[in-house]
Amino acid sequence: TPNNNVINAMNVAGEEDNSRRKRRGFCVGAGRTDAGVHALGQVIHFDLSRTQRKTNDPLEAISGDSVKNAVNYYLRQNQNADIQVVSASKVSSDFHARYSARMRHYVYRVELTEDPSLFESHRSWHVPEQLDFEQMQLAADVLEGEH
């Protein structure tokens, strides 16, 4: 999943940095998505600290932009060009990507055309048949609300 690819990139980058600069990191994702599902606005947190190699003294924190650029570089180098970190920032120590989430928003895209679009093939479900929108709305009403 996109989430797991970014987490793997962050953890591997942390391990590689750890061997060179004594950085330690661990990455946690907000939640899992099903295979083939796109995750827009996926949130992860990355606990990261740096220490001086010889003295083990703490070093200045790495900027969010540096983390974003490093992970995006790693993803591009490993053929994960369909995944991109849009922003990164420092958060409070009690923030947790999964447990601090206040809401989730889901969008389901159905392409109702005879021929599937090349550009939408990975972002929507192609259905060439006519659908009963009234019945679909009745079914969707059952799902609406907080769960």
Amino acid at 19: S
Task: Cite the DSSP H helix spans in the chain.
Answer: 2-21, 64-77, 133-143
What does the alpha-carbon distance between residue 91 and residue 109 come to, in Å, rounded to a whole number? Answer: 33
Per annotation, catalytic residue among 17, 34, 47, 141: 34
Taking alpha carbons only, the member of 87, 74, 83 closest to residue 122 is 83
Residues in the chain: 147
Cα→Cα distances 38→50, 118, 137, Å: 33, 16, 23
34 catalytic per annotation: yes
> What does R_g of the chain's alpha carbons equal in angstroms?
20
- 101 conformational bin, left if phi > 0, alpha if psi -120 to 50, beta if neither: beta
**Catalytic residue list:** 34
